[in-house]
Amino acid sequence: MPTPHAPSEDPQPAPGALGFDPDALRARYRAERDRRIRPDGSRQYLSTTGEFGYYVDDPYVEPTPDREPLDDRVEVVIIGGGFGGLVAGARLRQAGVRDIRVIEKAGDFGGTWYWNRYPGIHCDIESYIYMPLLEEVGHVPKWKYAPGEEIRQHARAIGRRFELYRDVCFQTEVTELRWDEDEFEWIIRTDRGDRMRARYVVVSSGPFSRPKLPGIPGIETFRGHTFHTSRWDYAYTGGDADGALHKLADKKVAVIGTGATAIQCVPHLGRDAEHLYVFQRTPSSVDVRDNRPTDPEWARTLTPGWQRRRQENFLTQVAGGGADEDLVSDGWTTSARLLQSLLPGASGGGDQVSPEQRGLMAELADFKKMNEIRARVDAVIENHTTAEALKPWYRYMCKRPTFSDTYLSTFNRTNVTLVDTAGRGVERITESGLVVGGVEYEVDCVIFATGFDIGGPPAERAGLDVHGRDGVTLAESWKDGPRTLHGFYSHGFPNFFHLGSLQNAVSVNFVHVLDEQAIHIAEVVAEADKRQARYIEPTAEAEAAWVATIRARAVDSHALLAECTPGYYNNEGMPSKQSQSYGGGPIEFYELIERWRTDGDMGEVIIQ
Ligand code: NDP
């Protein structure tokens, strides 16, 4: 009998049995990563400020005329009008809070869906589980994967349904938050000269709110037209998010970047531009999309609570929990199930398996999945060199997986050229084009599909200057790393809540995570108000215990991430040693905070 955890003599099946050679794949993955690693890591990017500030001007509204600065008091200020801010507002409203003001720099609700309106934009998570509060708003999405405009309109519908338009401040940026110890209130200053007071502040600034540009030499010299995908210039391209970019018919267009955004807009550009050049540094994994309209018969069968059940079912699948039924049944859940099913112990007896063997089997399952992704490229692409260049050589979750039934075939068009930079990126930008391998590609327009700056803690990313008790700033308080209880609040910062993934649960269905957080915050606020508490603030002991739990339960993914090709998932090849999300996974986390709410007296945070 083998003893538990005893490594077998040759744990890796022979290549013949597998149909592929794991050692050869490992070597290829490493070589591809090595040629992309850069010493400047995330410093290679330029922020969209200063001379590049025009890249983030709002193309969707007129600048608002000056308004009188506000000097008043509200119960709750929510910073951010994306889905995080909206679900926080909705859940607080449901918990009985009457006086809520959302402050948002955009001209309307929607957050990432306000800014990102590029052609082809769709949700890559199933809309029935992604779009929050569907039952409350009374909406069933029209497609399995909703287009961006439907999602943006849904965000506005939430704003109307929960009366968040009543006191909103759009086109306004918070510049400073200062705790007033005498009044037990926050003083909030904005770029419009407001100086308002609020009992509670909720920050939900979103991970994708700051577009970034690649620091390509000469970027400032380009004389043609240029914009970032998150500020699509339809005045230049014509058309709308459904495509028909008719003004590009006589234009040569360059797209830089081949991430989740490019996968969705490239098919439209390829169809409508005179010529499209796609500048690629690292190809994405592109799986089957299979979008379809909602079946009205199915919609009629939905019973109250259906959305929550579906969200929880998806979460269980992708968190590796193994549910009996797969309600969503798409690329996310089937990949998760495939990876799970190939793990030893999947059908019981998992304790008999060493962590090394589990790791190895997970890697083999991953190779199998990525082989399928690469085989799909061969099946679709006609030109051999192009097909080879479009194949991703890294593990499935090293980059955000993408799904499209039109992206790959775009490269079969004669007016579309893939300019593969062999992992090195665009060399140089000139007045009239882009240079790769010494060849200059002259273009009329350069579109940056180069993503967002996600570094730094939420408040810092939002550009917030937060002064808590005794004037101590959040940055000072967190100088040795973030400190929270359950990710929601920090000692020294009373009545101040964070939404996001820090020291909390994470999932690819991020809006579901935000909604769970909003429910928690609303319950704590309602309870504090019921008890007429002085304020909400975690004790130093409770906070320290949670920081210790985060450390102790951290899944050590450093080695795995360090092996990945660079990208924002691994801080451009320099992953942090300390994970800042709850290592027990989202399901365990939600059980934990629900127990905390129901079993305890919330005495760790509600201060009488
Ligand atoms: P990403 O950060 O994923 O992609 C940026 C792209 O720019 C990469 O392909 C990168 O290459 C490339 N790039 C950067 N610098 C250079 C350079 N110097 N030369 C050439 N190429 C360069 O941004 P996205 O906007 O595509 O996606 C961001 C995130 O937004 C996604 O991961 C996803 O979470 C979310 N999203 C969600 C959608 C949804 O449907 N829910 C849709 C779209 C986006 P390299 O990989 O080599 O770094």
Inside any domain, residue 528: yes
Q: Are 381 and 390 in contact (CB under 8 A)?
A: yes
Q: Which domain holds residue 361?
A: 310-389
Q: Which of 338, 364, 389 is the last residue of a domain?
A: 389
Tell me which of 55, 281, 435 to substitute to probe ligand 1's pocket, judged by most ligand atoms within 8 Å of the beta carbon.
281
The verdict on 191 and 227 lying in the same domain is: no
Residue 201 to residue 70: CA distance in whole angstroms: 17
Query: CA-CA distance, 140 to 109, in Å (whole number)?
Result: 20
Residues 100 and 186 in one domain: yes
Closest CA to 456 of 400, 488, 497, 501: 501
Distance 260 CA to ligand 1 centre (A): 6
C-alpha–C-alpha distance, residues 520 and 590, integer Å: 10
Ligand 1 neighbours (beta carbon < 6 A): 36, 122-125, 208, 214, 216, 256-262, 264, 279, 281-282, 400, 421, 425-426, 449-452, 567-568
Q: In the 8-state DSSP scheme, what is residue 461?
A: H
Element (H, E) at 546: helix 540-553
Q: Please tell me the distance from the alpha carbon of residue 273 to that of residue 253, in angstroms, as a whole number.
A: 7
Q: Does an H or E element contain 402, and which?
A: strand 402-403
CA–CA separation, 548 and 558 (whole Å): 18
443 and 337, same structural domain? no
Instruction: Check residue 331 and give its pLDDT.
Output: 84
Assigned domain for 68 exists: no
β-strand partners of 177 = 188, 466
CB crowding 386-404: b at 16 or more within 10 Å, else e: bbebbbbbbbbbbbbbbbb
Judged by phi (left if over 0) then psi (alpha if -120 to 50, else beta), residue 349 lies in left
**Residue owning the nearest CA to atom 15 of ligand 1:** 214
With CA atoms as reference, report the closest residue to 388 among 416, 408, 359: 408
pLDDT at 341: 67
Ligand 1 centroid to 258 CA: how many Å?
A: 6
**The domain boundary residue, chosen from 448, 466, 485:** 448
Same domain for 433 and 340, yes or no, is no
Which pLDDT score, from 0 to 100, does residue 352 have? 65
Same domain? For 365 and 496 the reply is: no
118 shares its domain with 202: yes
116-139 b/e (C-beta count within 10 Å ≥ 16 → b) = bbbbbbbbbbbbbbbbbbbeeeeb
**Please, are residues 465 and 473 in contact by the beta-carbon 8 Å criterion?**
yes
Rounded Cα distance between 409 and 56, Å, is 31
How many angstroms is it from 407 CA to the middle of ligand 1?
15
Q: Is residue 273 domain-shared with residue 178, that is, in the same domain?
A: no
Identify residue 186 by its one-letter amino acid code: W
Domain check: are 204 and 93 in the same one?
yes
Is 5 among the domain residues? no
Ligand 1 atom at shortest distance from the alpha carbon of 424: 19
Q: Are 404 and 380 in contact (CB under 8 A)?
A: no
Alpha helices in 295-354 (DSSP H): 296-300, 306-318, 331-341
What is the number of the ligand 1 atom nearest to the C-alpha of 123? 40
Query: From the CA of 45, how far away is ligand 1's center (Å)?
Result: 12
Measured CA to CA, the distance from residue 558 to residue 561 in angstroms comes to 5
Residue 113 lies in a domain: yes
* 127, part of any domain: yes
Residue 56 lies in a domain: no
- Of 300, 285, 66, 297, give the one whose Cα is nearest residue 192: 66
Q: Whose CA is nearest to atom 34 of ligand 1?
A: 400
As a whole number of angstroms, the distance between CA 237 and CA 272 comes to 9
Q: Do residue 403 and residue 544 come from a single domain?
A: no
274 and 416 in a single domain? The answer is: yes
Report the pLDDT value the prediction gives residue 342, as an integer from 0 to 100: 62
Residue 428 CA to residue 511 CA, distance in Å, equals 38
Q: Where does residue 470 rank: exposed (0-12), middle (13-18), buried (19+ CB within 10 A)?
A: exposed
The stretches in the chain having pLDDT less than 50 are 1-8, 346-349
Strands (E) across 24-157 are located at 45-47, 73-79, 100-103
Annotate 357-395 with DSSP letters as a single string.
Answer: HHHHHHHHHHHHHHHHHHHHHHHH-SSHHHHHHT---S-
**CATH code assigned at 235:** 3.50.50.60
Distance CA 575, CA 563 (A): 10
Residue 560 lies in a domain: no
Minimum-distance ligand 1 atom for the alpha carbon of 229: 25
Predicted pLDDT at 413: 98
Q: How far from chain centre, in Å, is Cα 594? A: 25
DSSP string, 23-63: HHHHHHHHHHHHTT--TTGGGGEEESSGGGGGGGS-SSSPP
Which residue's CA is the nearest one to ligand 1's atom 5?
450
What 3-state DSSP class applies to 606? strand
209: CA distance to ligand 1 center in Å?
14
Give me ligand 1 centre to Cα 191, in Å.
30
Backbone angles phi, psi at 530, to 5 degrees: -60, -40
Distance in angstroms (rounded) separating the CA atoms of residues 371 and 488 = 40
Q: Mark whether 434 and 529 lie in a shared domain.
A: no
Ligand 1 centroid to Cα of residue 335, in Å, is: 21
CB-based contact 383:401 (threshold 8 Å): no
Residue 170 and residue 85 share a domain: yes
Cα of 256 vs centre of ligand 1, distance in Å, is: 9
pLDDT tens digit sequence for 90-107? 999 999 999 999 999 999
Q: What is the pLDDT of residue 14?
A: 78
Which of 338, 356, 389 is the C-terminal boundary of a domain?
Answer: 389
Question: What pLDDT sits at residue 313?
Answer: 95
User: What gap in Å lies between CA 556 and CA 355, rounded to an integer?
Assistant: 12
Q: Residue 347 has what pLDDT?
A: 46
Residue 578 belongs to a domain: no
- 202's enclosing H/E stretch is strand 195-203
Residues near 355 by Cβ (< 8 Å), separated by ≥ 6? Answer: 5
Q: What is the pLDDT of residue 463?
A: 65
Query: How many structural domains does the chain have?
Result: 3
Distance (Å) of CA 450 to CA 56, 174, 235, 286: 13, 26, 21, 17
